[in-house]
Structure 1
Amino acid sequence: MSTDFSRRRFLAAALSGLVATPALSGPPAASLRPVLRGEDLFKRSVPSVEDILGKARLEGLASFAVADAQTGLRLETFAAQTARPPASVAKVLTALYALDALGQDHRFETRLIATGGIVNGIVQGDLVLAGGGDPTLDTDRLAGMAERLRAAGVTGVKGSFRVYEEALPVLARIDAAQPDQVGYNPGISGLALNYNRVHFEWKRGGNGYDVTMEGRSERYRPAVRVAVMRLEDRAAPVYTYEDRDGRDNWTVARPALGKSGARWLPVRKPGLYAAEVFSVLAGAEGIKLGTPELTASVPAGETVVTERSEALRPLLKDMLKWSTNLTAEMVGMAATQARGVRPDSLKASAEQMNDWARETLGMQSVALVDHSGLGDDSRLTAHDMVTALVRMQGTGLRDILKPIALRDDQRRIVRDHPVTVHAKTGTLNFVSALAGYMTAPDGTEMAFAIFTADEAIRATITREERERPAGGRAWIGRSKTAQQELIERWAVLYGA
């Protein structure tokens, strides 16, 4: 069979399998390689693993395993014990870890605490913005807290405005190897706002560029001073970052800006960022607050306003859909603390999760260095990932995984594709992973994991090149095509 496997042919054959004889709806064959009957001509024409990987130029770079999701029987494997970077597939384990430690109904709380009592609307002591580990707090919800503070009768504060962010360890970034400017690598603390990103926007006018740095949300655009931008006349680098004078100090190369544009930049001082934005919002309510000061502990006092996140399960579903690194790291560390360990780094927390995965999910060689999969040194095997997916079959994991659209030869979504897939994608430079569940046309459910990585090329990419390395997008495209062809292969061989 030519490696140009037509998806139209697959659809036709797979759909015909839906009305095939009852014998075709039974459990998968027990052997690792399918035993084909003489009349299984279409199955004989399915491209081999070697053809699929060869066409994608992934020889020696791919691992996979697929199993019957009910029994765990391995249907087909390829280098399944080879550990590779899982990228964001690691977030599946983080979600399970958090659900186990915190419970699906857990809600994170952000509080406003008044010390010294409130007399005639004036807080006699300090007002404290206390973070409780909510990774999803945004400016709109913070504005709601300011409105409720005013509705509670508070009009002023005698003491200081303080901010508490140490409910979780305070870290400047997730992965030090990433470029400074990428918004998916922000600082971490127990208080986060807008996924710890600041909105940088520029527009060229008659007198140069107008530049704004804002804690932007759907309803509000408060300017901030804790993150500042300066334009410089240079060719490279495009961005530089420096922690100086208690601020995030950025510069950008003026020739790189063009006429106008915007991007999210990471925030390295999340507590002060959230506090500054809250101060602006409280001022709009007529409550004047001073310059925020960090505090290392939560003082005794009256909780005036409490803002709760949505329940953990839907929060994690959104995390898996949008692959938010900050959410993964914050809920992962919160889970570790709920298990009685205060980690001093992401790696220390991830090691606790690795131990949990061995004990609870039956994984043998799991070695993650964070909860998001962003770190270069994280490793998983396809065998271990499928073991975990089989173990979690029937627990509701599939329901919080993202539906993955399958595509035709022109990369258009096939709306009525007979195979359904719910999985987590993972993408880094020259790394592409996919793991989850698939349902074949006859209803057979399978758990699968596919990891591809060219670690030799990754080793040559400089820190500055990591945002858009040459050839990276084309490589990811070939890997995703191979992933779909493997899924279609398994649907035909084991469930069509």
Structure 2
Amino acid sequence: MEDTRGSRRDARRRDRRRSRALPLTAGALALALVGYGTADAFDVAPGILTLDPPITVQALPQPRAAAVPAEPVSPLPESAPIPQDLASRIDPILDQDGMTGGLSIDIRDAMTDEVLYTADENSAKTPASVTKVLTAAAALGTIGADTRFRTETRLSGQSDAGATVHLVGGGDVLLGTGESKPDGVMGHAGLGTLAADTAAALSEAGIDTVTVAADLSRYSGPAFNPGWDRADIGNGYISPIEPLMTDSGLTSTQRGTPRQEDPAQVALDAFAAALEGHGIAVDTAAPAPAPEGATDLAFVESAPVAGVVRHLMLASDNVVSEAIGREVALALGRPGAAAEAPAAVIDALAAQQLDTGSIELSDTSGLDYANRISAHDLTTILQEAASTDGDLSLLLPSMPVGGLSGTLFDRYLDEDTRDAAGKVSAKTGTLRTVTSLAGSVLTADGRLIVFSILADDLDPGTAGRARQVVDEAVTAIADCGCP
């Protein structure tokens, strides 16, 4: 039902938000319009894929750098009317036959936080991959948009027993196997470049034979979440999470191909082969922490967290999202473990004074059905991202754009939804009995609206129909010239 009363907000949060409500900036709007969708240097190839039961999630498109100069973007006019008649437009859409399960909806004006439409907004639902909105927001606010993850080599054991090169995982799960790609996110740091620099340092020290071992001590505990299905390694959705991985664990650029079963070993083997290519004789050893006093040799660094977040949002990359969850835990001084990451994400959001009362997380990617969040709390995060000028402001521009990029590339293209193409920028979520969408949409009058629409407990086989209903509801907002 429609609800426009400001009294629904806690006075403290209302006063804080209003004092921080700013004219929406170019960064917060960059992906709200189709003309600006290609302005980011870290675009990805399009695509979305769902599988048969027991689980259905988006596929992970292979990222591709597209270094396009950004066009200047003007802020939206503050005078654009705020839509007030959404209920008459949205209710008939939601009441269509074929819409099963339960809904939680919260729609607000991005600038003022005025509530425009709600339906069971405080009910916590399974968010599926919309969980990544929480992980991304936590990372931007806690790790920082400019932070990079460093993969290093260190040397120990310079004696008759031989020298050991320790390949130290630093949380970059998007390492490339070849040379570093400065304009990319996937492969921004390359093991080939690291091997070349390491070989040069070894040659300078007069060393031509080494043993190479992976140092995986950055992350602790099990590498695979107990709430996941190991069959999803074969389905291409997830792999064991290690601080040292190449290509997000992908075994191929083809969609639906399996993920790596032992990603750290794959990375170690690629590094060892590259080191041998520079004239160093190499044996490999089992993973072990580098000893105290090991000498630094070389390092490579990932793309900034802002670029990594954009990748995980556009590609709906579960592996990257899980690694980022562990990095949030480390940033809070906790172990980088699967058991720590979900609570760390919630605490990182709370530290940004965001509503977290409904949130329950068992993972940080959305593969686990046990995750819960209400539309109210989710939209609170989106509205804060739209009205701030800090690192969190990068959240909305990181999302897929309808009809253009990421997991929304092939949506908003039919007759019933095309009016929202290029105007909706949102994170998708799909499981067998879940469909969800959360982000922003630009109205016909030029007003930016933030929204969360979560549907779970869907009848098996109806998720596709529910997704179409959600898209039609968002299109009704885009079409709105309804002050």
Paired residues of 1:350 and 1:370 also in contact (CA < 8 A): yes
1:402 aligns to 2:400 (yes or no): yes
Q: Which amino acid is the alignment partner of residue 176 of structure 1?
A: W
Q: Which amino acid is the alignment partner of residue 27 of structure 1?
A: I
Paired residues of 1:171 and 1:189 also in contact (CA < 8 A): no
Paired residues of 2:131 and 2:366 also in contact (CA < 8 A): yes
Per-residue CA shift, 1:214-242, capped at 9, x if unaligned?
Answer: xxx8xxxxxxxxxxxxxxxxxxxxxxxxx
Paired residues of 2:237 and 2:318 also in contact (CA < 8 A): yes
Q: Which amino acid is the alignment partner of residue 194 of structure 1?
A: D
The 3 A distance-change label for structure 1 pair 169 and 157 is: farther
Paired residues of 1:357 and 1:366 also in contact (CA < 8 A): no
The CA RMSD measured in Å over matched residues stands at: 3.0
* Distance in 2, Cα, partners of 1:123 & 1:151: 21
Q: Which amino acid is the alignment partner of residue 401 of structure 1?
A: M
The aligned residue for residue 477 of structure 2 is: 490
The aligned residue for residue 111 of structure 1 is: 152
TM-score by structure 1 length?
A: 0.69
State which of 431, 439, 442 in structure 1 corresponds to 2:442.
439
The 3 A distance-change label for structure 1 pair 418 and 276 is: closer
The aligned residue for residue 293 of structure 2 is: 300
The aligned residue for residue 138 of structure 1 is: 176
Alignment of 1:344-355 (within 5 A): 344=337, 346-355=338-347
* Distance in 1, Cα, partners of 2:471 & 2:120: 18
Paired residues of 2:235 and 2:256 also in contact (CA < 8 A): no
Paired residues of 2:402 and 2:422 also in contact (CA < 8 A): no
1:96 aligns to 2:137 (yes or no): yes
* Distance in 2, Cα, partners of 1:303 & 1:392: 39
State which of 116, 124, 133 in structure 2 corresponds to 1:83.
124
Q: Which amino acid is the alignment partner of residue 481 of structure 1?
A: Q
For the residue of structure 2 that corresponds to 1:198, the secondary structure is coil
* Distance in 1, Cα, partners of 2:127 & 2:324: 19
State which of 369, 377, 381 in structure 1 corresponds to 2:374.
381
Give the length in aligned residue pairs.
379
Structure 1: runs of 5 or more not aligned = 1-21, 36-43, 200-216, 218-260, 458-470
* Distance in 2, Cα, partners of 1:34 & 1:272: 54
Paired residues of 2:100 and 2:458 also in contact (CA < 8 A): no
Cα distance, 1:157 vs structure 2: 5.1
* Distance in 2, Cα, partners of 1:262 & 1:89: 21
Cα distance, 1:114 vs structure 2: 1.6
Paired residues of 1:53 and 1:59 also in contact (CA < 8 A): no
Alignment of 1:402-421 (within 5 A): 402-405=400-403, 407-409=412-414, 414=418, 420-421=423-424
Paired residues of 2:209 and 2:282 also in contact (CA < 8 A): no
The aligned residue for residue 465 of structure 2 is: 478
* Distance in 2, Cα, partners of 1:430 & 1:418: 26
The 3 A distance-change label for structure 1 pair 68 and 143 is: same
Cα distance, 1:295 vs structure 2: 0.5
Q: Which amino acid is the alignment partner of residue 183 of structure 1?
A: G
Q: Identity over the aligned pairs, expressed in percent?
A: 25
Structure 2: runs of 5 or more not aligned = 1-76, 179-189, 388-392, 404-410
Paired residues of 2:334 and 2:340 also in contact (CA < 8 A): no
* Distance in 2, Cα, partners of 1:138 & 1:146: 12
For the residue of structure 1 that corresponds to 2:282, the secondary structure is coil
The aligned residue for residue 222 of structure 2 is: 171
Larger Rg: 1
For the residue of structure 2 that corresponds to 1:111, the secondary structure is strand
Alignment of 1:224-235 (within 5 A): none
For the residue of structure 1 that corresponds to 2:440, the secondary structure is strand
TM-score by structure 2 length?
A: 0.71
The aligned residue for residue 250 of structure 2 is: 197
Cα distance, 1:194 vs structure 2: 2.0
1:291 aligns to 2:284 (yes or no): yes
The 3 A distance-change label for structure 1 pair 417 and 456 is: closer
Paired residues of 2:101 and 2:455 also in contact (CA < 8 A): no
Cα distance, 1:177 vs structure 2: 2.9
* Distance in 1, Cα, partners of 2:273 & 2:98: 54
* Distance in 2, Cα, partners of 1:443 & 1:320: 25
* Distance in 1, Cα, partners of 2:425 & 2:108: 15
- Select between 353-362 and 271-280 the one with higher mean Cα deviation: 353-362
Paired residues of 1:127 and 1:157 also in contact (CA < 8 A): no
